């Protein structure tokens, strides 16, 4: 099987399963600190939905040539900055919706759990950007307030949770990514 990764060609046995072909391809991209972002097999674009057990278990001879394009994580994150900003704005809006029910006692303290999960995703994106040297991405200004919010959530103090959200954390969501 002929495989092309970013213009570089190499061969693998036609008897190799597609799972092993893709693992080798991924390993080669990873060795160059890159991630495969586009995959074409037998002239057909492949997405994650195509990676089913029947596809992965078939021998390479059944599918045709494979072409892959990769990008550095740094480039991927730089290109995702606008989406990260939109996600922060959405988090801020969704956090503001939680305030009134928390203050009035009509919402259980656990109502923030899904929001906290999304906040964790956001901080992971910021940290990945910072680790890759992408300017303007850092969770440093958010982390102390996240810790305090988690403490208030643990003690089931809904008013303190609302105060921390409104006055400390939500205003820093879009500011926080600008910290160095």
User: 164 exposed, middle or buried (CB, 10 Å; 0-12, 13-18, 19+)?
Assistant: buried
Q: Of the candidates 32, 64, 96, which is a domain's last residue?
A: 64
Are 109 and 156 members of one domain?
yes
User: 76 exposed, middle or buried (CB, 10 Å; 0-12, 13-18, 19+)?
Assistant: middle
Residue 100 belongs to a domain: yes
Tell whether the model's pLDDT for residue 65 goes beyond 60. yes
Number of C-beta neighbours around residue 163 at 10 A: 17
Are 56 and 98 members of one domain?
no
Are 59 and 79 members of one domain?
no
If one counts the domains in the chain, the total is 2
Are 53 and 80 members of one domain?
no
Grouping H, G, I as helix, E, B as strand and the rest as coil, residue 43 is coil
Residue 117 belongs to a domain: yes
Q: Of the candidates 13, 35, 64, which is a domain's last residue?
A: 64
Whether 14 and 61 have beta carbons less than 8 Å apart is answered as: yes
Are 92 and 154 members of one domain?
yes
pLDDT band at 174 (very low <50, low <70, confident <90, very high): confident
Range of the domain at 25: 2-64
Express each pLDDT in 3-31 by its tens digit. Answer: 999 999 999 999 999 999 999 999 999 99
Are 60 and 89 members of one domain?
no
Whether 3 and 65 have beta carbons less than 8 Å apart is answered as: yes
Residue 94 belongs to a domain: yes
Whether 137 and 81 have beta carbons less than 8 Å apart is answered as: yes
For residues 64-68, give the mean pLDDT: 96
Are 79 and 99 members of one domain?
yes
The pLDDT score that the predictor gives to residue 179 is 42
Residue 70 belongs to a domain: no
Are 107 and 142 members of one domain?
yes
Q: How many CA atoms lie within 13 A of 5 on its CB side?
A: 22
Are 12 and 59 members of one domain?
yes
For residues 110-117, give the mean pLDDT: 94
Are 128 and 106 members of one domain?
yes
User: Strands, E, within 50-178: which ranges?
Assistant: 66-72
> What's the CA gap between 20 and 1, in Å, rounded?
12
Phi-psi region of 33 (alpha: psi -120 to 50; beta: other; left: phi over 0): left
Residue 69 belongs to a domain: no
Tell whether the model's pLDDT for residue 63 goes beyond 80. yes
Exposure letters 123-158 (e unless 16+ CB within 10 A, then b): bebbebbbebebeebbbebbeebbeebeebbeeeeb
Express each pLDDT in 34-44 by its tens digit. Answer: 999 999 999 99
Q: Of the candidates 41, 64, 87, which is a domain's last residue?
A: 64
Are 166 and 103 members of one domain?
yes
Which pair of structure tokens corresponds to residue 168? 């400390």
Q: How many CA atoms lie within 13 A of 83 on its CB side?
A: 8
For residues 82-102, give the mean pLDDT: 95
Residue 10 belongs to a domain: yes
Are 80 and 167 members of one domain?
yes
């Amino acid at each position: 099987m002929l495989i092309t990764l970013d213009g570089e060609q190499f061969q693998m046995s036609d008897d190799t399963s597609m799972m092993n072909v893709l693992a080798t391809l991924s390993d080669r991209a990873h060795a160059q600190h890159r991630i495969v972002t586009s995959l074409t097999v037998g002239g057909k674009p492949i997405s994650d939905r195509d990676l089913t057990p029947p596809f992965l278990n078939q021998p390479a001879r059944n599918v045709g040539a494979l072409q892959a394009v990769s990008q550095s994580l740094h480039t991927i994150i730089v290109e995702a900055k606008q989406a990260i900003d939109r996600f922060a704005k959405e988090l801020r809006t969704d956090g503001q919706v939680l305030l009134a029910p928390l203050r009035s006692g009509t919402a259980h303290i656990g109502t923030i759990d899904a929001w906290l999960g999304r906040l964790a995703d956001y901080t992971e994106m910021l940290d990945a950007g910072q680790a890759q040297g992408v300017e303007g991405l850092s969770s440093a200004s958010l982390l102390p307030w996240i810790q305090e919010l988690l403490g208030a959530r643990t003690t089931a103090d809904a008013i303190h949770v609302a105060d921390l959200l409104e006055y400390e954390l939500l205003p820093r969501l879009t500011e926080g990514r600008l910290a160095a």
